[in-house]
Amino acid sequence: MLDKAKAFIRRDFLFQWSYKFGFIYQLGYLVSSIVTLFFVGRMIGTTPPKAIAAYHTDYFTFALIGMAFLDYMWVSMRTFSQQIRMAQFMGTLEAMLVTPTHPFAIILYSAAYTYVWTTLRSVIYLVLGVTVFGASLGNVNVASMILFVGLIVLTFSGIGLASAAVTLYLKQADPLTALLGGVSFLFAGIVYPVQSLPPILQKVAWALPMTHAVEGLRQALLMGRTPLELASHAAVLAAWGLIAFPMAFLLLRHVLKLLSKEGSFGAY
């Protein structure tokens, strides 16, 4: 299993490395987004709103955490379907699915490199924020941070796998994940606190899994909260994951059976 995951990581790394400008672009985007948050923080000044001050931090550090872990949501929801669509266009999907490796495993392994790169990018984001721009992460609970990153991956990969199943069958991108991602970015407190939203939108925000993920990560990184203290937020994420992941597996299995009967794996 580990050897197969390594093979997928190596394949995707070599593919991405063949387009070196892509690496430069991603690093440039990362730095530019940190700089933007830094200057917005300077504009707000040393006295942040009460909703941010409650975390014992400034605006820049508050927003930095939201942006640093946002990619885990996007990657989990989009990578699986993107890899499926690319394999359809390149004509390699059918060849991969007839190998002894289970189709579900193939789709999971196809995202391995992206998760490795996302983790590296998040680390760079936080390290630059602390060492260059003065973000303060002096009270980090590592266990809680790892727990919530894992729950983000579990929850949103279930949604992403369901999207991959839809993409596999319809031969086109699933728009629902983009809608969920957009709503989450707007309402989940990524770059501004949920409390700044109108009351009715705050209810929408707390119904989203990403809101609980970001809240848990902020409390873990800024306030040193333990997994037990963050149990309520973790429970919401776990519930989403326990529903989304099995449903995605069943949907994918159903789609594979349909396509096997139709003999349309090679179509795109």
In this predicted structure, the answer to whether residue 32 has a pLDDT above a threshold of 60 is yes
Tell me what pLDDT residue 114 has.
Answer: 85
Containing 244, the helix (H) or strand (E) segment is helix 231-262
Tell me what pLDDT residue 232 has.
Answer: 94
Question: In this structure, is residue 220 part of a structural domain?
Answer: yes
Question: In this structure, is residue 214 part of a structural domain?
Answer: yes
Question: In this structure, is residue 54 part of a structural domain?
Answer: yes
**Mean pLDDT, residues 10-37 taken together:** 80
Render pLDDT for 75-124 as a digit per residue (tens, 0 to 9).
Answer: 888 887 777 777 666 666 666 666 666 766 777 777 788 888 889 889 99
Which pLDDT band, with edges at 50, 70 and 90, does 207 fall under? Answer: very high
**Mean pLDDT, residues 10-36 taken together:** 79
In this predicted structure, the answer to whether residue 268 has a pLDDT above a threshold of 60 is no
Question: In this structure, is residue 169 part of a structural domain?
Answer: yes
Residue with more model confidence, 250 or 212: 212
Which pLDDT band, with edges at 50, 70 and 90, does 208 fall under? Answer: very high
Residue-range definition of the domain harbouring residue 161 = 2-262
Site of tokens 């999207």: 163
Mean pLDDT over all residues of the chain? 83
- Model confidence pTM above 0.85: no
Distances (CA, A) of 144 to 141, 207, 249: 6, 21, 28
Distances (CA, A) of 212 to 125, 185, 252: 21, 13, 27
Question: In this structure, is residue 267 part of a structural domain?
Answer: no
The pLDDT > 90 percentage for the chain reads 31
Question: In this structure, is residue 170 part of a structural domain?
Answer: yes
**Which of 59-63, 140-144, 176-180, 231-235 is predicted with the least confidence, judged by mean pLDDT?**
176-180
Question: In this structure, is residue 96 part of a structural domain?
Answer: yes
Task: Report the domain count for the chain.
Answer: 1
In this predicted structure, the answer to whether residue 203 has a pLDDT above a threshold of 80 is yes
For the chain, give me the number of helices (H) and strands (E)?
Answer: 12, 0
Question: In this structure, is residue 268 part of a structural domain?
Answer: no
Which pLDDT band, with edges at 50, 70 and 90, does 264 fall under? Answer: low
Q: What number of other Cβ atoms are within 10 A of residue 256's Cβ?
A: 18
**Mean pLDDT, residues 241-266 taken together:** 77
Distances (CA, A) of 254 to 86, 173, 204, 260, 261: 21, 18, 32, 10, 11
Render pLDDT for 122-150 as a digit per residue (tens, 0 to 9).
Answer: 999 899 999 999 888 878 899 999 999 99
Render pLDDT for 163-184 as a digit per residue (tens, 0 to 9).
Answer: 877 777 776 666 778 888 888 9
Give the C-alpha separation, 153 to 77, whole Å: 9
Tell me what pLDDT residue 266 has.
Answer: 52
Burial class (CB in 10 A: 0-12, 13-18, 19+), 14: exposed
